[in-house]
Each structure stands twice: as C-alpha cells, then as structure tokens.
Amino acid sequence: MGLAGIKMASALFIILGLILLGFYLLKRYGHKAGLGMGSGNRLKIMEALSLGPKKSVIVVRFLNKDLVLGVTDSNINLLTENQVDEQGDQDFSEILSQKTDMDSS
C-alpha cells in the first residue's frame, strides 16, 4: 500500500469523522433549531376522555391550535379546532363557558 493508499485511507477517515461530528451536533443541538429525528414539542396530547371501549375524545395541541379528535378503533374524526392564545393555558371550564356564551348570542 503506497502513498496513494495512505492518502485515500486518511481522506476516508476524515470524511467519516465529519459525518459522525455532524450527527453528534444534530443530536445535541438540532432540537433547539427545530431539526433532528423527532417532532419535539410540536404535538402534545393535552387531555383524553374515554367514552367506552375503544372510544375516546382527545385534545391535541399542534403548533398553535388545539384539535379535539373523536377516536374509535377504526376511525379518527376532527370534532373542532381552537386557536390557542399566546397568553398561556386557560382552564377548560373557562374556555367552555366562553364558547357557550359565544354560541348562545
């Protein structure tokens, strides 16, 4: 194995090192930039209510929306969606009373 073989092997190790360094940096800092191998905190189950065997209503927060989903063993239906305010989390009873007041007027 001459000088060309040594250069080729060293170039291969440098490239592999750079790839491994990139994976390490992506794993360590990628979630802060919205990158990486997971969805992070963009999708979160807020509440779940069982209605019977294999039937439930689930509130899922995705980005800035709360989605109310009806889930059965063979189907998922979007019941309603609600824009989330930047003020933070509100109590469920407060939101319900606000929505029912808006619907009745």
Whether residue 54 sits in one domain with residue 100: yes
**38 occurs within a structural domain:** no
Question: If you average pLDDT over each of 17-21, 39-43, 65-69, which comes out highest?
Answer: 17-21
Whether residue 47 sits in one domain with residue 28: no
Say yes or no to pLDDT of 37 above 60.
no
Considering the entire predicted model, what is its pTM?
Answer: 0.47
How high is the pLDDT of residue 10? 95
- 20 pLDDT tier (thresholds 50, 70, 90): very high
Q: What is the pLDDT of residues 62-88, one digit of tens each?
A: 888 889 999 999 999 999 988 887 555
Could you list the residue range(s) of the whole structural domain that residue 21 is in?
3-33
Number of domain units in the chain: 2
Whether residue 50 sits in one domain with residue 26: no
Whether residue 83 sits in one domain with residue 50: yes
Cβ atoms of 57 and 71 within 8 Å: the answer is yes
Length of the chain counted residue by residue: 105
Angstrom distance (rounded) from CA 105 to CA 82: 19
